[in-house]
Amino acid sequence: MGLPSGQADSRTMCREPLYGNQLRVGKATNQDKFNNLPTLRSINCESEGKALLWYYILAEAQYEWSVHGGNTDTPVRLGAVGSRIVVETFMGLLLNDGHSVLQQAPAWKPEIGKKMGFDMADFIKYVLKL
């Protein structure tokens, strides 16, 4: 599809890419199950260093989950590469949409919620009041 590999995107973002045993995807509810998931290398030995971007994003989220507890109490969240791609995509959409808050009110500041810690829940409350 012409997309860069996950490792290439990671390097472009000045992040240390994940390789080998760090790239695992599947259902894991604890560290032992995570460690027994197949690695990308075991699925396709030619993929080392050039993981498909969508696979890399999912594997990065699971790897971060495993590093930060790796149990049912640990939330699975996008890692640095996946998060940045999502944020940059939304920012690109907002910057190019003449009806977005970034175009209509570029100096807008939160007037509700936590102000300095304004989060998604606060933004949704703001939008629902419009």
H/E stretch holding 35: helix 31-35
| Dihedral sign computed on CA atoms, order 121, 54, 56, 42 | positive
pLDDT tens across 51-109, in order?
999 999 999 999 999 888 888 888 888 999 999 999 999 999 988 999 888 888 888 77
pLDDT tens across 15-35, in order?
999 998 899 988 877 888 888
The 10 Å CB-count burial string (b at 16+, else e) for 30-45 is: eeeebeebebbbeeee
Q: What pTM was computed for the model?
A: 0.77
The C-alpha angle 80, 51, 72, rounded to 5 degrees, equals: 55
Task: Say if residue 7's pLDDT is above 70.
Answer: yes
